[in-house]
Structure 1
Amino acid sequence: MNRFIAKEGWTVVFTLLGLLLLVWIFWGFSFILLLAFLAFLFLFRASKPYLVCNDEKAILAPIDGRITRIENAYYEDFGECLELNIKNAFYDCGSLSAPIKMQFEKLTLRHGLFLCSELEVAKKMNERMIIRAFAGDKSIIMRICAGSLDRKLKLMNNPHHLNAGDKMGFLLNGSVSLLLPKDTRVHVGLNDEIKAGSLLAYLS
């Protein structure tokens, strides 16, 4: 079942299905409930990323979306780095996967609000998860930020060792920032529409 519907959406999808059937049996068919069921079925659809590259230094897209930022940045004790941000819209598939083979060093969950991610204040106030990890001999950071439709950030089974393409979680309309070493070679451009598993960059 989780090949077609993300586990995070099972409760709401099957609740709506049961409600649709009950209303149909006792009162009659409801087009409103059918549309609601189909809408949530679409929102929580699952897909396995098609990995375009097997190179261990390749950084692959962790989620469907649009590239909204490619710029130099400075992040706490990580120092100067390259930030690559992907915005996942509600109509994009929200399955979140590992961008590279990596081993977790530190995971921090910062609870917060669920504001529209287009607002400047959302960058600091929305709930977010920060994962620092090793990819071979390089350090990378994944910063996952919830959107207005998300209600909780949670990793699947809280894994610590992941291969590229392994499922990590689900976002409805959040964003994912990858903080990479400054010498990373980028293979995408600003505003590019990308699919999970497509090539983003190479670690040097």
Structure 2
Amino acid sequence: MNDYPHPIIAREGWPFLAISIAVAALVSWFCGFWSLPLWLIALFVLQFFRDPPRTVPQNPNAVLSPADGRIVVIEKTQDPYTKRDALKISVFMNVFNVHSNRSPVDGIVQSVQYFPGSFLNAALDKASMENERNAVQIKMANGTEITFVQIAGLVARRILCYTKTGDSLKRGQRYGFIRFGSRVDVYLPPDAQPKVTVGDKVSATETILAELA
């Protein structure tokens, strides 16, 4: 998978940005001041699809946040995709967060599974298994396997995943995008040590979610 070539504005946003600016400019030409709400919409589209570069921490045992947002779950549970005991950490993204998703670890993709579903509020616990979602399972060089799951939300209606089975992902590498509010669940080995708490704000790649034993 090629490195993502547009680190400032996400490529997914260019059509939306072009249309919103074109409509605002057209209305400005004919209606002047009355176009202000349309320029505000264009500004919202611009901030939503921003995709700034990120610095990758050098700690080899670190599991990095796959998304910007807020920690809503830290719990011992079972990984429903591998049927193993796991530490689950969930990041909720609102419409003002960067929605580019990045790999939390280095490794080889073992599987990519898409599940259709509902569009409940992604902050709810039941959204993990009832909402539309896309699960990526990855195996690290030391044999450790983790799963990270893109979950659609109340407003999000499109999950985009650009990786496939057999791909090699690097920590911080962009692998997907979710439009307009969503969540990412990360399932780690149960002995991983959390480095965040519920309520913490996190940044994709730059925030360490946990350290592997």
Output the TM-score relative to the length of structure 1. Answer: 0.90
Displacement of 1:128 = 0.2
Q: Does 1:164 align with 2:171?
A: yes
For 2:112, the aligned partner's letter is L
Displacement of 1:121 = 4.8
Q: 1:45 aligns with which of 39, 50, 54?
A: 50
Displacement of 1:157 = 5.8
Q: 1:141 aligns with which of 133, 140, 147?
A: 147
Q: Does 1:186 align with 2:194?
A: yes
Q: 1:152 aligns with which of 150, 158, 161?
A: 158
Q: 2:210 aligns with which of 190, 201, 204?
A: 201
1:67-78 to 2 correspondences below 5 Å: 67-76=71-80, 77-78=82-83
Cα distance between partner residues in 1 of 2:54 and 2:116: 28
Displacement of 1:48 = 2.0
Give the unaligned 5+ runs of structure 2. none
Give 2:24's aligned residue. Answer: 20
Displacement of 1:103 = 0.9
Q: 1:4 aligns with which of 8, 12, 21?
A: 8
Alignment length, in residue pairs?
A: 203
Q: 2:68 aligns with which of 64, 73, 77?
A: 64
Displacement of 1:148 = 2.0
1:113-145 per-residue CA deviation (whole Å, 9 max, x = no partner) reads 323224555333321011111022101111111
Cα distance between partner residues in 2 of 1:123 and 1:129: 10
Classify 1:202/1:61 alpha carbon distance in 2 versus 1 (closer, same or farther; 3 Å): same
Give the unaligned 5+ runs of structure 1. none
Output the TM-score relative to the length of structure 2. Answer: 0.87
- Please state whether the residue corresponding to 1:72 is helix, strand or coil: strand
Q: Does 1:106 align with 2:106?
A: no
Give 2:37's aligned residue. Answer: 32
